[in-house]
Amino acid sequence: QVQLQQSGPGLVKPSQTLSLTCAISGDSVSSDNAAWNWIRQSPSRGLEWLGRTYYRSKWYNDYAVSMKGRITVNPDTSKNQFSLQLNSVTPEDTAVYYCTNEGDRGYFHPWGQGTLVTVSS
């Protein structure tokens, strides 16, 4: 049974970098039928897909167009986890951030527990 455990700070200052980590148990970040995603949720934007990393003989990344230039999703094979970095944050990036596995199916399951990240000075 796959489980995802998120970690990272809940408060980030404007213009700084938001960094979150998602530790995987029950599967491998290098699995060739998994895709490791970040999704956020806010009252104004609802559920918004941000980006993903996955391994298919080599590593790939996809990012939401709205995030491009600011986002990086990286695997860490040594710790079996993956991370989210979002640069130059503003208060509009305040949201609950979730990590989740899409696999090769397209729907998301399971999900991490969520991390409320507030962008404020």
CB of 85 to other proteins, least distance (A): 19
Q: Is 105 in the site for other proteins (CB under 8 A)?
A: yes
Distance CA 92, CA 121 (A): 13
DSSP classification of residue 111: B
| Interface with other proteins: number of residues (CB under 8 A) | 20
Across the strands, what pairs with 5? 23
* 32-71 footprint of other proteins as x/- string (CB under 8 A): --------------xxxx------------x-xx------
Q: Rule CB under 8 A: which residues touch other proteins?
A: 46-49, 62, 64-65, 98, 100, 102, 105-114
